[in-house]
Amino acid sequence: MISSVQDYPVSHYFNPDGEQRFFIPKYQREYVWGWGNWEALFNDLEDSPKGHFLGSIICVNSQKDALAGSRLELIDGQQRFTTISLLFCALYKTLKAQPEPDDELTVELVNLKNRIFLKGKKDWRFEPSEQAQNRADFQKILSELFPQQVAQPKNLRYFGNRRIAKAYVYFVERLQGKTAEEAQALLEKLKAAILVKIEVPNHSDAFVLFETINNRGIPLSAIDIIKNNLLAELDKRPDYGIDRAFDEWKDLIDRLPDPAVQERFLRQLYNVFKYLKAVEVKGCPRATRSNLITIYDTLLRRRPVWLFRHLQDKAKTYAALIDPQVARETWDEATSAPLQDLYRLGAAPSYAFLVWVSQVAKSQGWDESEAIRRSAAFLVRWFFWRNLTDTPATRDLDPMFMEIVGFLLASLRKRELKDLAAFLQRAETWLLAKAPPDAMCDTRLGSDVYLENYDVTRFLLCKLEEAHQTKETKRDLWAQDAHGRPVFTVEHILPKTENLTQGWLGMIAKGDKEAAELVRQRCAHQLGNLTLSGYNAKLGTMEFAKKRDRKNDAGDYIGYRNGLYLNQRLANLGEWNEESIVQRSQAMAAEVKTFLGLKGSA
């Protein structure tokens, strides 16, 4: 696995008389070190004696002599190498500005230039990543220091806002005010600092070391390692190549930009398609965070091109499942709506099943949009009750969706499902058997729902209101303010706080403070005591009549006469007490079951 391990000073890697070069492969991520890393490196060099340990690097070398004029691929260590190169540049700028340099400083400047370029050539000794314009940004710095050797890059916008520029400026500013002797002393410490070089003969061996050797680096995620493994394999294929592979990978990731979503996508994809011989990995019955790298490393060694095509195809579907706009473009508005509700319910485990449903619909010649729409609509109802009761448990959801895929797959193979309707009926019947019992649902709906699950409660109220909206009364109940906070929030009619006002004490308990407190404890968080308001803070603990009749400065009702369906009954009431809350709770619970109920929906 490891060809050699050797500790060398930085001057060995950036030898002014050497021919060795290092480069970052195109597919690696960009330079990500920040102010804290730059400060730590600079301070460590200043405060430590010569020979300060900077960590380790991993590079791929297929030659026997790693330093015989070769160009090594730096697999791990780009953060250190990029930063060291930028510090060399800052030191050159500082020392070059010294007036009347003596012979020793002149020689040092020549050597410093030859640490940045191969001696007598225009070749860079270190080539940064092309990601996020790292290479172009580094070129700009070199072009300013060495205009005879490096041309200015074109169309380089926002240079000063990126990390390469900021790191360089940081080091230049830290060196300001230092004498030539002090700057040279720091340069000597930098040259003497130690880096351990680990050489391996191929990419596969290099990537195995990623997780365990990353001194002071930015930890690599599973998606980083899988990406690097996959692209390294594709790079070996003459009909593919790294440039094409990288561009196609970028297209895939652009569809799923969140690393957490990327990881979930890879886990779920394996879990629902592992029945395929090309997908199943022995010893891995289910993908988890701990075995994800093992699974995909095995798959890409088998059939990397097929795997990449599979990932690209399913990423398109997955992006549509999680993004309403993409869903509308891929299918239609009717399909986008229940997918939006699934997202609001936090029903991410269902995406595994829906990706598989999409594939089944295509293979069977069914209407894919109808299959997704109807499946998602049922899953909205199913997850509402699941989230309300926390049954089944979260840990059981991924295995459950794997199980239903196996069940439906067996039915398809037996030709028991003749059409989409039969498929959906079978799926809903199976899911109904896993739903929480009716008694549990009724109990939870009649309890302190606000305390049990705020998000489910707000979802319930919004869906109840939406069910009665018309074009004339339609409002965006999911709108957010400039800070990303919901405009409409859950409002307690009877205040949830203690120390009720005299008006409330008189209304709910004829002035008896202790009796009123008991009513508040029993009823405040019940469904019947909740509504939606875009002015929660302005209503607060006001007495009922004031909340009901509250207007804003423009004379518009912002209290319970604001036109919302949820507030219609409240708008005409003169008082609010425990009996009112109980009656409204029962009426709302019954109505919720009519549009979020599970039974008879197929």
466 in the same domain as 437: no
Amino acid at 374: R
- State pLDDT tens for residues 445-457: 999 999 989 999 9
Place of tokens 């130690």: 194
In contact, 539 and 547? CB cutoff 8 Å: yes
Q: With cut-offs at 50, 70 and 90, classify the pLDDT of residue 289.
A: confident
Q: Which residue has the higher pLDDT, 536 or 368?
A: 368
Question: In this structure, are 438 and 544 located in the same domain?
Answer: no
User: What CA–CA distances, in Å, run from 349 to 23, 138, 341, 356, 395?
Assistant: 41, 43, 14, 12, 10
Per the structure, how many domains does the chain have? Answer: 3
Q: Is it true that the peptide bond before 238 is cis, omega within 30 degrees of 0?
A: no
Least reliable range by pLDDT among 57-61, 392-396, 509-513: 57-61
pLDDT average, residue stretch 266-285: 94
Measured between alpha carbons, how far is 372 from 350 in angstroms, rounded to an integer? 11
Q: Is residue 217 part of a domain?
A: no
Beta strand pairing status for 194-200 and 71-76?
unpaired
Residues 556 and 429 in one domain: no
Q: Which residue has the higher pLDDT, 519 or 552?
A: 519
Q: How far apart are CA 462 and CA 204, in angstroms?
A: 51
Model pLDDT for residues 128-144, shown as the tens digit of each residue: 988 888 999 999 999 99
Residue 601 has pLDDT above 50, yes or no: no
Q: 157-161, 240-244, 473-477: lowest mean pLDDT where?
A: 240-244
| Model confidence pLDDT, tens digit, residues 302-334 | 999 999 999 999 999 999 999 999 999 999 999
Residue 484: the pLDDT is 84
Q: Is residue 600 included in any domain, yes or no? A: no
Please check whether residues 372 and 254 belong to one and the same domain: yes
- Residue 234: CB atoms within 10 A of its CB come to 23
Positive or negative, the Cα torsion across 293, 299, 302, 303?
negative
Q: Tell me, what DSSP letter sits at residue 124?
A: B
Q: How many helices and strands in the chain, by DSSP H and E?
A: 28, 8
pLDDT, tens digit, 9 for 90 and up, residues 542-552: 788 888 888 87
| Main-chain dihedrals φ then ψ at residue 439, nearest 5 degrees | -60, -40
Task: Work out the number of other CB atoms within 10 angstroms of the CB of residue 556.
Answer: 11
List the domain range (segments joined by +) for residue 523.
Answer: 449-593
Q: Is the pLDDT of residue 219 over 70?
A: no
- Note whether 531 and 437 are same-domain residues: no
Alpha-carbon span 177 to 180, nearest angstrom: 9
Amino acid (one-letter) located at 105: L
Domain match, 479 and 429 both: no
Q: Is residue 237 part of a domain?
A: yes
| Per-residue pLDDT at 201 exceeds 80 | no
Average pLDDT, whole number, for the chain? 88
Q: Mean pLDDT check: name the lowest of 479-493, 511-525, 535-549, 582-596.
A: 535-549
- 263 domain-assigned: yes
Query: At a CB cut-off of 8 Å and minimum separation 6, what does 173 contact?
Result: none
**Average pLDDT score over residue span 403-424:** 96
CA dihedral sign, ordered 190, 192, 195, 198:
positive
Give CA separation, 383 vs 343, 386, 391, 396, 454, in Å: 11, 5, 9, 13, 15
Percentage of the chain lying above the pLDDT 90 cut: 57
Question: Please, are residues 174 and 156 in contact by the beta-carbon 8 Å criterion?
Answer: no
Confidence of residue 462 (pLDDT cuts 50, 70, 90): very high
Confidence of residue 215 (pLDDT cuts 50, 70, 90): very low
Do 139 and 16 share a domain, yes or no?
Answer: yes
Among 391, 412, 442, the domain boundary falls at 442
- For residue 52, being part of any structural domain is answered with yes
Residue 18, in any domain of the structure: yes
Q: Which of 160, 184, 208 is the last residue of a domain?
A: 208
pLDDT of residue 372: 98
Percent of the chain topping pLDDT 70: 93
- 3-state DSSP of 3-56: CEEEEEEHHHHCCCCCCCEEECCCCCCCCCCCHHHHHHHHHHHHHCCCCCEEEE
Span 207-226, average pLDDT:
56
Please answer whether residues 575 and 544 qualify as being in contact, where contact means their C-beta atoms are separated by less than 8 angstroms.
Answer: yes
Indicate if the pLDDT at residue 212 is higher than 50: no
- List the structure tokens of 345: 């319910």
Q: Which residue, chain included where needed, has tokens 């500082």?
A: 94
Assess whether 341 and 438 both reside in one domain. yes
Q: Using one digit for the tens of pLDDT, what is the confidence trace for 230-249?
A: 887 888 888 887 778 878 88
> What pLDDT, on a 0 to 100 scale, did the predictor assign at position 220?
53
Residue in 365, 252, 387, 377 with CA at minimum distance from that of residue 308: 252
What pLDDT, on a 0 to 100 scale, did the predictor assign at position 384? 97
Say yes or no: 516 and 565 in one domain: yes
Same domain, 426 and 526: no
More confident residue, 73 or 95: 95
- Residue 62 predicted with pLDDT over 70: no
pTM score of the predicted model: 0.70
Q: Which two tokens stand for residue 202?
A: 């191929």
Exposure string over 2-40, b if 16+ CB within 10 A, otherwise e: ebeeeeebbbbbbbbebebbbbbbbbbbbbbbeeebbee
**pLDDT tier at 206, thresholds 50, 70, 90:** low
pLDDT for res 217: 45
Instruction: Indicate if 197 and 296 belong to the same structural domain.
Output: no
Q: Is 459 domain-assigned?
A: yes
Looking at residues 182-192, what average pLDDT do you find? 93
**Which of 442, 464, 483 finishes a domain?**
442
The number of residues making up the chain comes to 602
Residues 428/378, Cβ–Cβ less than 8 Å? yes
For residue 408, what are the contacts with CB-CB under 8 A and spacing of at least 6?
360, 417, 423, 426, 427, 430
Residue 37 pLDDT? 92
Q: What angle do CA 405, 408, 409 make, to 5 degrees?
A: 80
280 part of a folded domain: yes
Confidence of residue 165 (pLDDT cuts 50, 70, 90): very high
Q: 372 and 273, same structural domain?
A: yes
